[in-house]
Chains A and B, each alone.
Chain A
Amino acid sequence: MDKAVERELIVPETPEEVWRSLAEPGWLGDDAQIELCPAGAVRAGEHSGFVEEADEPRRLVFWWSARDEEASRVELDLEETDEGTRVRVTESRPLEILSVRGRDLAVELDLAGGSGPVASAGAGGGGQLVMIG
């Protein structure tokens, strides 16, 4: 199962106005800060990470993790609508999918008697590795 959480918010502001608001501390946590540029730092409470993609004012992608937890990827998409802006958040753990799928793959390889990764990759569940990219 792909672990992902999706939430939406619709506000009357334009994507540009929402984007500016993202950089302000507060909404992400009291002492939070987020630099809206690639490799920018993300800090919010126990979470810390970095920005992967900053496409002003449409899309912000960052990675973060809390304490010793596994990192998750957060995608914020700002879409202009008739009413203003739809803010869509998706938080997922792609690395976990990779490790789980990797385990499946290892099992398949084992069953196949080591006949090679390419031959076995799609055997069990329909070539899931493609989904990661």
Chain B
Amino acid sequence: MPAADPADAVFSALSDGTRRDLFALLGRRGEASATDLARELPVTRQAVQKHLGTLAGAGLVATRRSGREVLYHPTPGPMSEALAWMAEVGGEWDDRLAALDRQLERRRAGA
């Protein structure tokens, strides 16, 4: 395995709750500056900037210069799609297994 596994970078970048919120927020906004994003999160602009740097390092966001502003946008690629799929399917199985448990429980109570 190469040392810099892109999957490791993605998981590590998204292991932080603030960065996950930031990534999700950017996904909803499409494109935004660090200042815009900091306004909607309980962290400073400097902290947002730093987190965006980490997300960019993992290939999850990219930048575009617009006048004096730097605008960030998410870069959907195989990695972020895979993570989204895992989150969605994992949530579905949590629900189904909970339902199976309830189904067995009802039978237990009835027996």
- Complex CA gap A11/B104 in Å reads 8
A16 to chain B, nearest CB (A): 12
> Which residue among B94, B96, B108 has the maximum number of chain A CB atoms within 10 Å of its CB?
B96
- Complex CA gap A71/B107 in Å reads 33
- Complex CA gap A5/B93 in Å reads 9
- Complex CA gap A21/B102 in Å reads 11
A74 to chain B, nearest CB (A): 9
Interface positions, chain A 1-41, Cβ under 8 Å from B, are 1, 3-5, 7-9, 11-13, 17-18, 21-22, 24, 26-29
Interface positions, chain B 2-40, Cβ under 8 Å from A, are 6-7
Interface digits, B87-111 against A, CB 8 Å rule (1 contact, 0 not)?
0011001101101111110011000
Number of A interface residues, CB 8 Å? Answer: 25
- Is A107 interfacial (CB 8 A cutoff)? no
- Is A87 interfacial (CB 8 A cutoff)? yes
Q: Is the CB of A21 within 8 A of B103?
A: yes
Q: Is the CB of A21 within 8 A of B107?
A: yes
Q: Is the CB of A27 within 8 A of B86?
A: no
Q: Is the CB of B101 within 8 A of A5?
A: no
Partner of B97 from the list A4, A12, A29, A87 (CB cut-off 8 Å) is A87
- Complex CA gap A47/B18 in Å reads 34
- Complex CA gap A99/B80 in Å reads 17
- Is A54 interfacial (CB 8 A cutoff)? no
**Contacts A12-B108, A21-B107 given; does A5 touch B86 at CB 8 Å:** yes
Residues of A within 8 A of B85 (CB): 3, 93
- Is B56 interfacial (CB 8 A cutoff)? no
- Complex CA gap A93/B86 in Å reads 11
Q: Is the CB of A18 within 8 A of B96?
A: no
Q: Is the CB of B86 within 8 A of A18?
A: no
Interface digits, A87-130 against B, CB 8 Å rule (1 contact, 0 not)?
10101010000001000000000000000000000000000000
Q: Is the CB of B104 within 8 A of A7?
A: no
- Is B82 interfacial (CB 8 A cutoff)? yes
Listed A/B pairs (23) with beta-carbon separation below 8 Å: A1-B6, A3-B82, A3-B86, A5-B86, A7-B93, A7-B97, A9-B97, A11-B100, A13-B104, A21-B103, A21-B107, A24-B103, A27-B96, A27-B102, A28-B96, A28-B99, A72-B89, A87-B97, A87-B100, A89-B93, A91-B89, A91-B93, A93-B85
